[in-house]
Structure 1
Amino acid sequence: MNKKDEILERWDKEKAMYQAWGSYLSTCIKNKISSKIEPEELSCFLKLPVVPRLKDDRKLVEKAFYRRKNYSDPYSDITDKVGIRFVVLLDSQISIISNIVEQMTEWECSKDRDYEKEQERDPLSFDYAAVHFVIRPKEEIDCGKEHGFVKVGTPCEVQIKSLSQHIFSEVAHDTIYKPTVEVTAEMRRNSAKAMALLEATNDYFEKVNDQVQAPISSLKNITQQLSAVYKDAIQDEPAPSVLEGLFLEAYKDFTHDDYVTKVRDLLKKKPFIGKSIKKWFQKRNPIFSQPSILLIYFAVDNNARKAKRKWPLTMVEMEPILADLGESST
């Protein structure tokens, strides 16, 4: 059996383990991202699905023997036999995921590519930009009966990039960096111009994002505070949506003078409020899955007339809240 056949035979035996390792990592990192960015939805933050991808047999052999890599142990030295990719909207969001990867203690990670350091070294160059990690488990990981154990030191490549970086890599990377035809100076020049334009576009989007985030940052903070109270009182996970922003904008005048403590006190004083919220939550009424529902009850209890005037939907939809507190919609 030659070396190529040996590599493919081993790869066939270990594919399931590598797939399990990629799936385990993607789930773990996504869970950490969700807790970091809440109340924003993960599906909004990540612009593409995170799907572990195994290296094709042919490409594995090509990389091992035909890319002039000079591997001493081709199978072990190739670290992207499985890979996962996180794509965010803006360059500034990359660090959120990078920090999560670097702070986890159950694995070892090496940063194989860092576009920010590359730009510091050569600020006049406009080139493929992303952050690449190789992650290996420190201890054997049990992935269940179906997948078995992931061995210590099994590598997985994790790429983190912005949408503009991803666009560039999809268009140019396979041609410019993994050529099957001769790459001309004109091709490289056009590639650099495209990357420069994408970087400039990202910079403008960053400015727009900062301008948008400034007025809503305080509302996000309110949502985080109310979410904590919601989890404690209702014993369910709130699901903020577009309604959350609508309600907070309407009732933000009630968020002063230690309102969180007063909301907690109201729930203790009138425990039927929590039971009612849970009932409507279980009936999948989206109004009652918003963290701000607690603020609405507080507003009605504090000043029903003002709360009704501020209500942004139809009065029919407010009636269950008013009824709980003995108020009329008229």
Structure 2
Amino acid sequence: MKSKFRRRRKVVFDSGVMITIPAESIWLIDISPNKKNYMDPSKQMTDIVGCRFVTLVSSDIEIVERALIGFSGWTVTRERHYADEVAAKPGEFDYQSVHYLAICFQEFTHGGTIIPEGTTCEVQLRSLLQHAYAELVHDNIYKADQYVPQSTKRLVARSMALMEATDEMFCSVARELDDVNRSQRFWYACLDTKFKEITGIGFYSSLDEHTLIILERFRELLRTVSLAEVTRMFEAMAYRTKIAERQDLELFSKPICVLVFWLAKHRFDDLSNDWPLASLDSDVAEIASFVGFSWH
């Protein structure tokens, strides 16, 4: 009999990476039935004690793996990985999970409980979709006491194919959002530093809506621009003075104005064609006029 305990939490690893664990299970198996007739089940059974981490998407599994492998005090070996099984049988869509065995190589005490040397813990890692499949299929299909129609098995395989495709799309969404957020944080931090240097005012604690809209609109353009190009412009005192003197204007009072000045001077056509905030047109017009252009 397997006793389970579940909880939901966020996990922060030593690397500083944080992922959300939708479900974390810890189990303890009653070895008294001993169906496989082990001579010494407490030593021969490797999953008497175990835990399972269920991540939102499969790409997060790698983060948990790195943390697990780097954990001191335990010898960790990988026993199963769905990627190996997919590579071996690419035409099959079946149960997917990552299994590790963690063996304590010396006795220690944790939370008042003595953990004997040689204690083995099975650690399972799955995405949320992989876990949903496993929970439905494991007892109802693979270990079912009753007959399971071939049509049902086919439906199960089709469901895993759909889940695999869905997870891949979710991972792509997560990567794209991470890329966008990383770019936004980088540019805002740099612009804030320059803005504070010019005005003595720092705003890094708040990424306001206008800034987000502007950074998103010019995201592709900024991939081709170096920070040095933007900040070099402000070696000229005239630009610094203009920003410092016009803090009464909304755009001038935000770090993003540093980028808008550069765009007006060096990418005016892009700025004019793609400017997303009509409410700040008068502020942009003043910047454009200052660098020698006429705003529409």
TM-score, with structure 2 as normaliser: 0.60
Instruction: Report the equivalent of 2:262.
Output: none
Paired residue total: 218
Does 2:90 match 1:90?
no
CA contact (8 A) 1:85 1:160 kept: yes
> Structure 1 residue 169: deviation in Å?
0.9
Change (3 A) 1:72 1:94: same
What's the % identity of the aligned pairs? Answer: 28
Partner Cα distance (1:110, 1:224) in 2: 41
- Mapped partners of 2:140, 2:101: distance in 1: 24
Task: Choose between structure 1 and 2 for higher RCO, CA contacts under 8 A separated by at least 6 residues.
Answer: 1
Q: What are the within-5 Å matches in structure 2 for residues 244-283 of structure 1?
A: 246=208, 249=212
Offset from partner CA, 1:234-292 (integer Å, 9 cap, x none): xxxxxx9xx76548749989x956xxxxxxxxxxxxxxxxxxxxxxxxxxxxxxxxxxx
Q: Which runs of 5+ in 1 are unaligned?
A: 1-7, 9-14, 226-239, 258-299, 313-330
Where does residue 37 of structure 1 map in the other structure?
A: 17
Measured against aligned partners, the alpha-carbon deviations of 1:88-114 in whole angstroms (never above 9, x if no partner) come to 121122111112112223211121220
Contact kept, 8 Å, 1:110 with 1:135, in 2: the verdict is: yes
Q: Which deviations, in whole Å up to 9, do the C-alpha atoms of 1:110-169 show, x marking residues without a partner?
A: 21220000111111110110101111112212224xx33101111111111111101101
Measured in 2, the distance between the counterparts of 1:303 and 1:149 equals 67
Q: Does 1:153 align with 2:118?
A: yes
2:108 to 132, 138, 141: 141
Residues 114 and 131 in structure 1, CA contact (< 8 A), matched pair in contact too = yes
Q: What corresponds to 1:188 in structure 2?
A: 153
The 8 Å contact of residues 73 and 106 in structure 2, kept in 1 or not, is answered as yes
The answer to whether the Cα contact below 8 Å between 1:113 and 1:132 also exists between their aligned partners in 2 is yes
Distance 1:129 1:216 in 2: 30
Q: Which sits farther off after the overlay, 92-101 or 208-217?
A: 208-217
- Counterpart of 1:92, as a letter, is S
Considering fraction of residues, name the structure with more strand.
2
Matched position secondary structure for 1:169: helix
Asked if 1 retains the 8 angstrom alpha-carbon contact of 2:11 and 2:21, the reply is no
Cα shift readout 1:152-198 (whole Å, capped 9, x = no counterpart): 11111111111110110111112222222233322321211111111
Give the corresponding residue for 2:254: 310
Given that residues 87 and 160 in structure 1 are in contact (C-alpha distance below 8 angstroms), is that contact kept between their aligned partners in structure 2?
yes
CA contact (8 A) 2:107 2:115 kept: yes
TM-score, normalised via structure 1 length: 0.54
Aligned: 1:107 with 2:82: no
Contact in 2 for aligned 1:80/1:157 (Cα 8 Å): yes
Report if aligned partners of 2:246, 2:253 keep a CA contact under 8 Å in 1.
no
Query: Which AA in structure 1 matches 2:149?
Result: T
Q: Distance in 2 between matches of 1:103 and 1:302?
A: 54
The reply to whether residue 215 of structure 1 matches residue 180 of structure 2 is yes
Higher alpha-carbon Rg? 2
Structure 1 residue 84, shift from structure 2 partner = 1.4
**C-alpha contact 1:250 1:310 (8 A) present in aligned 2:** no
Tell me how large the CA RMSD over aligned residues is: 4.1
Per the alignment, residue 294 of structure 2 pairs with: none
SS in structure 2 at match of 1:47: strand
- Alpha-carbon shift at residue 308 of structure 1 (Å): 7.3
Residue of structure 2 in register with 1:169 after alignment: 134
In 2, are the aligned partners of 1:251 and 1:307 still within 8 Å (CA)?
no
Q: Does 1:117 align with 2:54?
A: no
Decide whether aligned partners of structure 1 residues 244 and 125 sit closer, same or farther in structure 2, where only a CA change above 3 A counts. Answer: farther
